[in-house]
Structure 1
Amino acid sequence: MRPANDTFLRALLKEKTEYTPIWLMRQAGRYLPEYRATRAEAGSFMDLAMNPHYACEVTLQPVERYPLDAAILFSDILTIPDAMGLGLSFQAGEGPKFEKAVRDEETVNSLFVPDPCGKLKYVTDAVVEIKKALNNRIPLIGFSGSPFTLACYMVEGGSSSSFQNVKKMMYQRPDLFHKILETNAQAVAAYLNAQIEAGVNAVMVFDTWGGSLAHRQYKEFSLAYMKKVVDGLIKEQDGERIPSIVFTKGSAPWVTDIASIGANAMGLDWTASLGEARKLVQDKVALQGNLDPSVLFADEKVIREQARAVIDDFGMVGNGGHVFNLGHGIDKTTPPENVQYLVDEVHNYSKKYHL
């Protein structure tokens, strides 16, 4: 049974909609005072993310505040490598850290596909609780990091600006790196399928770092493994189609390649033109994006103007599908009232493109 407001799902499936739906990457996050209060109550980020009750609470916070067209599960992209036993922690001001970095043959060979019903059960428990709380109002999005993006954190042992260890392994020991990616692809597909079986209405793969690769390496080490994930996904659950979205930050050089891997939609960051990408992919997939998140630091007039420019760039929806989003995650210092201006403008202005 589709949610009462299924505009987001219809847009992903390129079905007729009355307006352009909107949700925001990282919409449940630090820019909201209610999130910061819940985070403080939880004690740490991991305590927040691994507690289904807290995860439900922060997932619902933005959709209670704004008329968004979808909720996204509150979790972290690094849940899979943590469940592999790499020991995830978050240090203030330093980002994620792993106790064990995956840099040698022995560690690579010890990797395994975590059972979604084992160490990752807190995620599917959160999905069940969120679905109950949403009461079929709007769709719930499940997600995972891409095999390559997960590998970046696993090999580096945390965040990196250069990916020196990742690229060294990729070029010097591609056999080892492919082995990591193959395990990750199986793990991501199993993880997303568990979320689907728990009740999410759509899934998204975040390839945050794929755009750091050279052209051939992107297709070999990132895109090929996202295709494996998409190929392994459940496509229908309880009689309803489960759309998939893939998003590579910096994807402009590969839009036609990405559109060919079988996902229903492709996310674009703000460096790409929706209109030009649409011409290239010929409406083969729906497009998601792609406002520069920094626009939300401007005043109301500019926010509304820039929202209209993104919608104008996509143009008449016709046989296509457009989901409005930011080109990446919302910044933690974004004024919450500015999000309201954006959502309002997208809903009202986009109607003229859905005749």
Structure 2
Amino acid sequence: MDKPLFLRTLAGQASPTPPLWMMRQAGRYLPEYREVRAKAGGFLDLCYNPALATEVTLQPIRRFGFDAAILFSDILVIPHALGQKVWFAEGEGPKLEPITGEADLVRIDEALSLERLAPVFEALERIRAALPAETALIGFCGAPWTVASYMIAGKGTPDQAPARLTAYRDPAFLDRLIDLLVESSIAYLCRQVEAGAQVLQIFESFASALPPGLIERLSFAPLRCIVAGVKARHPHVPVILFARGAGPRLEALAATSGAEGIGLDWSVDPAWAAATLDRKAILQGNLDPLALIAGGKALEDGVAAIRAAMGDRPYIFNLGHGIQPQTPVAHVERLVALVRS
């Protein structure tokens, strides 16, 4: 049997119709997701319930026939599995008991407990068994800088100031935390592959917060280490890096990361990316999620611009960030029709 279109594209094979999926495609814009979420209890309860996590992962595949499903989980399961207290406050987002220095490291484990993440791996096994053969399965984790930012601040912050201050005031502590997250991410992603993931995506959600003097040390070097660590055990599993807000610095990342795919956020000019980034890099993106909410001409022009910019280059169609809860389902249906027309 031929590989799924998504995997063929990541292997460098161009197609007249690009593969399509959306970040956060299992989410609150879908009424069926909201029904499951309401009966799941807390958000982490949903992430750690294999049956429910499988159900919400499959919902957008059933409805839209996307070319890839992405595991329903959260980037903060790694600090949670390391022993940090993590919870989700309704209407406020994630909360963590902050880890701000060497003295706090005694509160977390020195190595990731894969046993604590067993429900995630069970969900992957269930999802893989339930997916159509033509639909690829994506596993994921958060990048060390992004996850460390949450661990240090104890919550999401507008500009990651607590973690950036730590980078200046206590670089040895932050380097130690980043190293722990690199090793944890490698172990977690490899176990996802063993449970059925065929592609891996790493979310560097806060690349935009890092100045030139820090981005190599705290973001790009750790990303390269994770890719190399995964490839040492699973050399044929493609990896996509999504460094939100990296802008022109994506050129260096694409050339040196060892990853097959480079995700573009909505602020990146797709024509610049197609002309500038390493030709071997499979680009992914990057429709503005607000153009999808708006629909109509904004949606049509956005899709057309990306498709024209990519030309004959293999690429994956996606949004430039996660789909928003207020997105009309009809607009997603229209997106699918436009991309596949």
Pairwise TM-score range, normalised by the shorter structure: over 0.9
SS across alignment from 2:35: helix
With the length of structure 1 as denominator, give the TM-score of the two structures: 0.92
Query: Aligned match of 1:160 in 157, 160, 183?
Result: 157
SS across alignment from 2:120: helix
Shift of 1:300: 3.2
**Counterpart in 2 of 1:229?**
226
Shift of 1:215: 1.2
Q: Which amino acid aligns with 1:62?
A: P
Is 1:308 aligned to residue 304 of structure 2? yes
CA distance in 2, matches of 1:305, 1:113: 48
Query: Aligned match of 1:12 in 10, 13, 23?
Result: 10
Is 1:204 aligned to residue 180 of structure 2? no
**Counterpart in 2 of 1:264?**
260
In 2, are the aligned partners of 1:265 and 1:286 still within 8 Å (CA)?
Answer: yes
Query: Aligned match of 2:137 in 140, 154, 159?
Result: 140
Q: Please list, as runs of the form range in 1=range in 2, the aligned pairs for 1:188-203 lying within 5 A after superposition.
A: 188-203=185-200
4+ aligned runs moved over 4 Å, structure 1: none
CA distance in 1, matches of 2:273, 2:211: 20
Relative to 1, partners in 2 of residues 1:236 and 1:221: Cα closer, same or farther, differing over 3 Å?
closer
**Counterpart in 1 of 2:331?**
338
Shift of 1:57: 0.1
Query: Aligned match of 1:72 in 49, 70, 73?
Result: 70
User: Which 5+ residue runs of structure 2 have no aligned equivalent?
Assistant: none
SS across alignment from 1:23: coil
Is 1:291 aligned to residue 296 of structure 2? no
Residue by residue, what CA displacement relative to the aligned partner does 1:8-34 show, whole Å, maximum 9, x if unpaired?
111112123241111000000011000
Shift of 1:137: 3.4
CA distance in 2, matches of 1:96, 1:112: 23
CA distance in 2, matches of 1:299, 1:332: 14
CA distance in 1, matches of 2:132, 2:303: 30
In 1, are the aligned partners of 2:199 and 2:237 still within 8 Å (CA)?
Answer: yes
Query: Aligned match of 1:281 in 268, 273, 277?
Result: 277
**Counterpart in 2 of 1:352?**
none
Q: Which amino acid aligns with 1:296?
A: L
With the length of structure 2 as denominator, give the TM-score of the two structures: 0.95
Cα RMSD over matched residues? 1.6
In 2, are the aligned partners of 1:202 and 1:242 still within 8 Å (CA)?
Answer: yes
Residue by residue, what CA displacement relative to the aligned partner does 1:250-303 show, whole Å, maximum 9, x if unpaired?
121212211111000100111112221222224121100000000012233432
**Counterpart in 2 of 1:252?**
247
User: Which 5+ residue runs of structure 1 have no aligned equivalent?
Assistant: 349-355
CA distance in 1, matches of 2:26, 2:75: 14
CA distance in 1, matches of 2:257, 2:231: 15
Shift of 1:220: 1.2
Give the share of equivalent positions with the same residue, in percent: 38
Q: Which amino acid aligns with 1:54?
A: L
SS across alignment from 1:266: strand
Shift of 1:235: 6.5
